[in-house]
């Protein structure tokens, strides 16, 4: 007889790429995951995975079974969610990925009251600034700031997000205050490397304009970019939710030029074709209300 535990182990191993990572995700020992996987293969009468010392790869049988296995688990989760809805409760696992700085400063504080009100929800929040694949990495949804280019995703807007050009007062005293887009070309820039050096986009009557200033430093974390700007290393273009307190305290100065940075958004996105659960919709609704429109950090 095929057991659901074996199907869960198989899908987790495929999504995570290793038995050890699947065990961590399922909060089981490696031996238990391996045993459940072996039991599933015995029940099906064939090998699902090629195992080597370096990696695991799907066999033809494994590839054929994976799609059905994923749908089986989705159906079970949706059935459990529907039963919870009928009882007026929200329960079960939710796995989200979000940026480090936004997660620490705003997402965590917004989620804690929601989780306290719904103790049946088992949240796993993965804070990582790298671009993740929401489907293959096993997330129910990702939360991101800025544009989302993956057309396979269904995007829900959680909040608007303004970005500011900022620099330390000392940097501006030494290098002058830019007034136009052209002036920015002569300044040093602190760029967000996860988007590339063409991150400075401004709204003009002719359409978006991209500024390529001289890179002083490239970083993949908003906290460190803010700190580098405070240290006087250059100009940074950062969201208000990161630099607002530093501007109010006088550690950074906002630079106002002849065009404003393009408006961006805080998004939640889930894979196209996957019916989002009631608890995921509830999380999104709660975050919208908590962030507000305009968002509270703009104050």
Query: What are the per-10-residue average pLDDT scores of the chain (299 residues)?
Result: 88 87 87 91 89 81 88 79 68 89 95 94 88 72 79 86 95 95 92 73 87 87 95 96 96 95 90 77 95 91
In the CATH scheme, what is the code of domain 163-262?
Answer: 3.40.190.10
What pLDDT does 88 receive?
61
What pLDDT does 199 receive?
66
Domain 91-161+265-298 coded CATH 3.40.190.10: yes
Cα gap 299→288, rounded to integer Å: 16
**Token pair in block for residue 218:** 């490239």
Domain 4-84 coded CATH 1.10.10.10: yes
Whole-model pTM: value is 0.71
For residue 118, give the nearest of 140, 148, 153, 93 by alpha carbon. 93
Whether the domain at 91-161+265-298 and the domain at 163-262 fall into the same CATH topology? yes
What pLDDT does 87 receive?
64
CA angle 241, 248, 113 (to 5 degrees): 40
Residue ranges covered by each domain of the chain: 4-84, 91-161+265-298, 163-262
Contact between residue 190 and residue 225 where contact means Cβ atoms under 8 Å apart: yes
Write the DSSP string, 140-152: SEEEEES----TT
What pLDDT does 21 receive?
87
Integer CA distances (angstroms), 32 to 72, 122, 157, 260, in order: 21, 21, 40, 56
Q: Where are the alpha helices (DSSP H) in the chain?
A: 4-16, 19-26, 30-44, 60-86, 100-102, 108-117, 169-175, 181-184, 222-230, 240-248, 278-291
User: How do 92-98 and 141-145 pair as beta strands?
Assistant: parallel
What pLDDT does 273 receive?
64
What pLDDT does 193 receive?
85
**Token pair in block for residue 82:** 């529907």
């Amino acid at each position: 007889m095929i057991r659901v535990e074996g199907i869960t182990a198989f899908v987790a191993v495929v999504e995570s790429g290793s038995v050890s990572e699947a065990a961590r995700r399922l909060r089981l020992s490696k031996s238990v995951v391996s045993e459940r996987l072996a039991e599933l293969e015995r029940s099906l009468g064939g090998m699902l995975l090629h195992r080597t010392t370096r990696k695991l790869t799907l066999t033809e049988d494994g590839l054929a079974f994976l799609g059905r296995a994923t749908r089986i688990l989705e159906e079970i989760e949706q059935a459990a969610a529907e039963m919870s809805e009928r009882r007026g409760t929200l329960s079960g696992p939710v796995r989200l990925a979000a940026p480090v700085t936004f997660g620490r400063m705003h997402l965590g504080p917004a989620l804690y009251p929601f989780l306290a009100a719904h103790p049946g929800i088992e949240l796993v929040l993965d804070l990582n600034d790298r671009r993740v694949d929401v489907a293959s990495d096993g997330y129910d949804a990702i939360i991101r700031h800025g544009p989302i280019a993956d057309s396979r995703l269904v995007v829900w807007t959680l909040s608007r997000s303004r970005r500011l050009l900022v620099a330390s007062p000392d940097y501006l005293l030494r290098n002058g205050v830019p007034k136009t887009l052209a002036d920015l070309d002569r300044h040093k820039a602190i760029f967000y490397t996860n988007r590339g050096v063409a991150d400075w986009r401004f709204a003009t009557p002719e359409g978006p304009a991209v500024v390529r200033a001289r890179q002083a430093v490239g970083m993949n974390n908003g906290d460190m970019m803010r700190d580098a700007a405070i240290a006087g290393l250059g100009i940074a273009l950062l969201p208000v939710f990161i630099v607002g307190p530093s501007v109010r305290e006088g550690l950074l100065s906002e630079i106002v030029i002849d065009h404003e940075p393009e408006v961006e958004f805080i998004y939640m996105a889930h894979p196209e074709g996957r019916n989002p659960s009631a608890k995921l919709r509830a999380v999104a609704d709660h975050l919208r209300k908590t962030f507000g429109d305009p968002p509270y950090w703009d104050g």
